[in-house]
Amino acid sequence: MLGDITHAIQLAVAPVFLLTAVATLLSVLTGRLGRAIDRRRVLLSALAASDARFAAEEKGELVYVTRRIPVIYGAITMSVMGALLICLTIAAGFMAALAGTHLARAVAVLFVLAMVALIASLALFLREIYLAVKTVPSPLR
């Protein structure tokens, strides 16, 4: 029994390191979300106070920033889902070791689903970066 638990702990080390990577990704994504929301606020207040020559450029940038925010939300959602699935993978491995059952298929399915969620998160992250680069630059005042 102790040998099974020790083996389960050894197998859980790699997913735990993966959780650290996901936490780092979430930190980056929430930082980008905060910057996009702050930029939207600045653009909205500048748009209300600007003259007509800057209004079109600010509206153009506002469109891009507004498009970025839901993409970041999607990436965050998929990262959190991936992290939860990784946690479930670890828990299923421990439950299998404690109960003496074989949940290898369930663990494999949970891990594959976690990878799919993380792949989707990274794809959305890449899309958000593309949108950020394509943002219309605001004029210097």
Q: Enter the pTM of the model.
A: 0.83
Residues in the chain, total: 141
Is 34 domain-assigned? Answer: yes
Distance of CA 137 to the CA centre of its chain: 26
Amino acid present at 34:
G
Is 112 domain-assigned? Answer: yes
Is 7 domain-assigned? Answer: yes
Average pLDDT of the segment spanning 127-134: 91
Rounded to an integer, what distance in angstroms lies between the CA atom of residue 124 and that of residue 119? Answer: 9
Compute CA distances 67 → 62, 127, 131, 132, whole Å: 8, 10, 8, 9
Q: Residue 94: pLDDT band by 50, 70, 90 thresholds? A: confident
Which tokens sit at 129? 């970066």
Q: Residue 64: pLDDT band by 50, 70, 90 thresholds? A: confident
Q: What was the pLDDT predicted at 128?
A: 95
Helix (H) or strand (E) holding 49: helix 2-49
Is 74 domain-assigned? Answer: yes
Q: What three-state secondary structure class fits 24?
A: helix
Residue 14, pLDDT above cutoff 90 = no
Average pLDDT of the segment spanning 59-71: 89
Is 103 domain-assigned? Answer: yes
Domain that holds residue 103: 2-133
Q: What was the pLDDT predicted at 47?
A: 83
Question: pLDDT (tens digit, 9 = 90+) per residue, 34-50?
Answer: 999 999 999 888 888 77
Q: What was the pLDDT predicted at 57?
A: 77
Domain total in the chain: 1
Q: What three-state secondary structure class fits 138?
A: coil
Q: What is the DSSP string of 65-117?
A: HHHHHHHHHHHHHHHHHHHHHHHHHHHHHHHHHHHT---HHHHHHHHHHHHHH
